[in-house]
Amino acid sequence: MNDWHSDFVTAIKEELKDEKVEIKQEEYLSKEPLRIDVIIIKKEKDVKINKRIGQIFKRYNIIEYKSPDDYVSIDDYFKGLGYVYLYKSIMNAYEKSRKEVDDIKIEELTLTFVCSNLPKKLISFLAEHKIKLDNSDNGIYYIHNEWIPVQIIVLSELENVEENYPLMVLSNNMYFKNAIEKIFTSINEAKEYDNKIRLIEAAFRIDPGIVSEVIKMYADRLNEEQMKYVINNLKEANFKIYTEEELKKSMEKGMEKGIEKGMENLVIRLLKKKFNDIPEKYIKLIEDADEKTLLQIADNIFEINKIEDLEKYIVN
C-alpha cells in the first residue's frame, strides 16, 4: 500500500541523520484519542542544525507533510498553526514528566509545511493579508509576521542534490534523476540500507522509467539481495529494465548492438554476483543471445539456481 506519510518520515530521517535531533512520527496530545498526524522534531537548546531545511528549527518543531497528489490549503495553514498552539498548551516540556503552565515557551516552537508544488492560492491569501514571504532559499519559503517561525518547503523546487536528495525523490523535481543516482552511489552503507531501499520504492511511484534507467547505470554497485529487491519492485510495477517498446525503438534507430551489449553486461554482472565464476561456455552463449533472450534472463535471474539453468533460456 502506498504510504507517502511513512515515506516522508523515512526521507526526513535520512535528511537529518547527521543532526542531533529526535524525530517522532505522531504525537498524542492527551490521554483521550486526540492525535495530530504530523512529525515532531525535538532538539536541545544549544544544538545547531546545519541543513537548510532546519535553519528555523528551535526546540519543538512541527512538520505537516502533504503527499504528491495533495497540497497545502488555506485551512491546512490554520490547522497547522492550531497544532502548534495545541502542542504548546497540552504537551509536557522536553524531558519533563508532567505538564506545567507555560513550560513550553512560544519562542521554542516552529511550523513547517512540506509539499510537492507551490500552494499558489495560499501564497495569494497570505499576501492579501500582509503576511510576508521570503524565498531567499530555492524551494524554501519563510513566512514572517506570525507569532512563530513558519516555512513552506516545496520539494519540486529544491536544487541541492547533495543535501536534499532524500526529499527530492518524493516529487517530480527537475533533479529527480540526480537524487536517485545519489541514493545508488551510497546504498552499500549498511546502516543506511533500509532507509535508502524505502526511498527507492517511493521513487518508483513517482517515475519508474527514470528509476529503471538509473538501475541500469548502477547495477554493479548493488549486491544480490539489493538487486533482487529492485528487480522484484520492477516486476510488481509491471515495468521491466528494458521494455519491448524500448527494444523496438532501438532497432528502428539502428542501435540494437548498443542495447544488446548493455544487456550482455548487465546479465553477466548479475550472474557473477550470484555464482562468482561463470564458465567461458556460458559467457559465449550470453554474448550470442539476442535482446529478448537476455531480457528474459534478467527478469528471471533469481529463479536461476545453478548456472546450467541458463540453457533452458538460451539453448532451444
pLDDT digits (tens, 9 = 90+) for 105-137: 999 999 999 999 999 999 999 999 989 888 877
Residue 174 has pLDDT above 60, yes or no: yes
**1: confidence class by pLDDT, cuts 50, 70, 90:** very low
* Average pLDDT of the residues in 291-300: 79
* Backbone φ, ψ for residue 243 (5° rounding): -85, 160
**250: confidence class by pLDDT, cuts 50, 70, 90:** very low
Q: Which three cell numbers stand for residue 1?
A: 500500500
Distance CA 54, CA 15 (A): 10
Distance CA 32, CA 39 (A): 19
**Side-chain half-sphere of 303: how many Cα atoms within 13 Å?**
9
* Average pLDDT of the residues in 33-60: 80
Read off the pLDDT of residues 86-112 as tens digits, 9 standing for 90 and up. 889 888 776 677 888 888 899 999 999
pTM above 0.75, yes or no: no
Mean predicted lDDT score pLDDT of the chain = 80
Bridge partner residues of 151 (DSSP): 112, 142
